[in-house]
Amino acid sequence: LPDVLAEVYEDLPVGLALFRLGGGLLYANKAFCSIVAGAGVNPARLRFPEASALFRLDAPAARVAPVRPLLPVSPASRDEDGDGAEDVNAKFQGVEKYLERTDGSFSWCRTHLSRTSLPGGEPCLRLVVDDVTRYRERVEQLVNRHKLYRGFVELRSDPLCRFLPDLSLLYANASFCKCFGRTRREVVGRNFLDLIRPEDRVRLVSALDAVTPSAPAAHMEQRLAWPDGGTLWIKWTFRGFFYRTGHIKDYQGVGVDISEHKIAEERVFQAGRLVSLGTLVSGVAHEVNNPNNFIMLNAPLLAAIWDKALPVLRRAAGGADGPDGLGGASLEQMDADVRGLLGGIAEGAARIKNIVGELKQYARLADGGSLTLVAVDEIVASAVLLLGKTIRTHTNHLSVRRGENLPMVKGVAQRLEQVILNLIQNACLALENPSQAIEIVTDHDRSSDSVRITVRDEGVGIRPEDMPRVAEPFFSTRARKGGTGLGLPISLKILKDHGGRLEFDSTPGQGTRARIVLPAAR
C-alpha cells in the first residue's frame, strides 16, 4: 500500500481494513485494530481469521459468498458468474453487528463492505467499521425512557394527550379515551376540535393562541357528558413545545377531573341562594300573613251578618221563596251559596295560614324552636302525609308499623320531622321500580330507654366503600343526578342536638336500613 495512502487511512476516525479476495489481510489502520481487537493491538498481530471470524469474511478465493448470511443477495442482482460479487457495494452497507473483541470486551459496529482495487490493479475488499457503541447505548436509553414515559402516562388517571399545531392528535392515553368514550384508534390522528362541544371550541383555540415561548402554558375548563347523563368537568393545562426559532412544534394537554370541585361550587352557590331564599320567605310570609289574618277575622263576621240578614230578606219577600228580586235564584239556594262561599273563604285562609307557618318554620335558623314533648308516631304520620305524592310515585308498597305505648321524646317537632322526611325521600329515590317496598317502623328499646324510627327500603343499597362517607357534607351517591349531599349531614346535626344518633346498614342490590335513635323523655 503506498505510504501516502497509508497515512491518509491511518488518520481516519473509523476503522478501515483491506482484504484479498483470497482471504489475506492486506492492511488495517489503528482504529480498525482498536475496534476489532481492543486498544493498543499491533496491526501486524491481527490475523485474517480473527477479523474474518468477526465479520464472516472467510471466503474462498474471488468469492464473497460469506456476506450472504448477513444480507442475502437477490437473484436479480447476481453477476454473470452467479456469485454476487458485484452486489457487495449495494448490499453490505450500514449493517450493525454486536461484536466480541479478541480482548473479551464487546462493542456495536456499523460495517460497510465494498469491492475496490489496489493501485496495482489487484482486486480486494474494503471494510470500513464505525464503532457505534455509544450511539446504540444512547438509543437504548432513549427507548427505555420512552417506554418508562409511556408506562407512566398510561397509568395516569388523568387524561393526557399530545397534538400538532393543526390540532391533529398524536397520542392519547387510556384515561383520555375513556373521557371521550372512544378507542385509541378512533382518537389518534383525529382533530381535537371534533371531540369537544361547539361552545368549547372557541375557548380551546383562544387558550392555544395564548401559548408563547415566554408563556408556554394555558388553561381551559371543559364540560363533558357521561353516557349515564351525568357531567364531567375537566380542567386542561396545555403546554407548548417550541423550536429554537420560536415556532410551535406541538402541544401537550394534561387534564384534571374537577367535577367534585364544580359540584361543591354549585352547592355552595345553591346554599347561598337558600339562605337568601330563607330571608325572602320570612319576609314574604310576614307580608302574606297580615292580609290573611284580615280575611280570617272578617270571614266569620260576614257569616254572622248573613245569619242576621237572612230573616230580614225572608220578611221582605213576604214569606215567599220565589226568585223575584233575587236574580232568578230562590232564597234557600242563595243561602246555601253564600254559606258555601263564606266557608270556602275561611277554609282557604286557614290553609294559607298553615302554609305560611310551614314556610316560617323551614326558614327559621338552626337554633330556633323550643324543646317540647313530641309524639314520634305523629311526626311520622305527618311526614308520610307530606310526601304522599312522592311515595306513590316510587312505590306501591308502603307499610307503617307503630310501636305500642311509645314514650314521648323531647325536641323540636318540625326539626325531627325534617330528618324523617329526608330518610323517606332517600328511600324513595333508592328504589328502581314501584314493586320494591318501603317499611317504616317505630318501637321502644327498653334496654337503652330509647325510641327508634326505622326506615327500610329494597333499593339499590350503598356500596361498602361509600358507607364511611355518607355523612360527609356534599357527598352524594346521586351527585351526577342532582343530589346535594346535604340532607344527611343536616339530619345528623339535628339528631346530635337532640341527643340522638343515626345508624345505617346497607347491602348493595338489596336495600338500606336507616334508624333514628332518640332518648325517651324522662
DSSP class per residue in 405-420: TPPPEEE-HHHHHHHH
pLDDT, tens digit, 9 for 90 and up, residues 464-483: 877 766 766 555 555 444 44
* Residue 468 or residue 437, greater confidence: 437
130 within a domain of the structure (yes/no): yes
Average pLDDT, the chain: 79
Are residues 481 and 345 both part of a single domain? no
CA distances from 269 to 1, 276, 447, 487, 488 (A): 91, 11, 45, 16, 19
C-beta separation of 444 from 408 below 8 A: no
145 within a domain of the structure (yes/no): no
pLDDT of residue 374: 92
Q: Which has the closest alpha carbon to 27: 37, 14, 39, 15?
A: 15
Q: And the C-alpha cell for 198? A: 361547539
For residue 63, pLDDT over 50 is answered with: no
Q: Estimate to the nearest angstrom the gap between the alpha carbon of 138 and the chain centroid.
A: 38
Q: How many CB atoms lie within 10 A of CB 79?
A: 11
> How many contiguous H segments (helices) and E segments (strands) does the chain have?
14, 17
* Domain CATH number, residue 385: 3.30.565.10
For residue 62, pLDDT over 60 is answered with: no
Helix/strand/coil (H, E, C) string of 106-137?
Answer: EEEEEEEEEEEECCCCCEEEEEEEEECHHHHH
Decide which of 218, 237, 257 is a domain's last residue. 257
111 within a domain of the structure (yes/no): yes
Distance CA(375)–CA(444), nearest Å, equals 12
Are residues 376 and 459 both part of a single domain? yes
Beta carbons within 8 Å of 401's beta carbon, 6+ residues apart: 439, 440, 441, 442
pTM: 0.41
96 within a domain of the structure (yes/no): yes
Decide which of 216, 236, 257 is a domain's last residue. 257
Are residues 287 and 379 both part of a single domain? no
Decide which of 257, 278, 305 is a domain's last residue. 257
Are residues 243 and 308 both part of a single domain? no
Are residues 482 and 445 both part of a single domain? yes
* Domain CATH number, residue 207: 3.30.450.20
pLDDT level of residue 46 (50, 70, 90 thresholds): low
- E strand or H helix at 264, and its extent? helix 259-316
* Poorest-pLDDT segment among 61-65, 247-251, 441-445: 61-65
Are residues 7 and 125 both part of a single domain? yes
140 within a domain of the structure (yes/no): no
Are residues 430 and 492 both part of a single domain? yes
pLDDT, tens digit, 9 for 90 and up, residues 151-203: 777 877 889 999 999 999 999 998 999 888 889 999 999 999 999 888 889 99
Grid cell 246555601 in the structure block, residue: 336
- Exposure string for 431-467, b = 16+ CB within 10 A, e = fewer: beeeebbbbbbbbbeeeeebbbbbbbbbbbbbeeeee
Are residues 273 and 231 both part of a single domain? no
Are residues 301 and 398 both part of a single domain? no
Count structural domains, the chain.
4
Domain housing 282: 263-362
pLDDT of residue 75: 39
- E strand or H helix at 162, and its extent? strand 160-163
Are residues 343 and 402 both part of a single domain? no
* Poorest-pLDDT segment among 153-162, 173-182, 277-286, 302-311: 277-286
Are residues 329 and 398 both part of a single domain? no
pLDDT, tens digit, 9 for 90 and up, residues 371-403: 889 999 999 998 898 888 889 999 999 999 999
Are residues 95 and 230 both part of a single domain? no
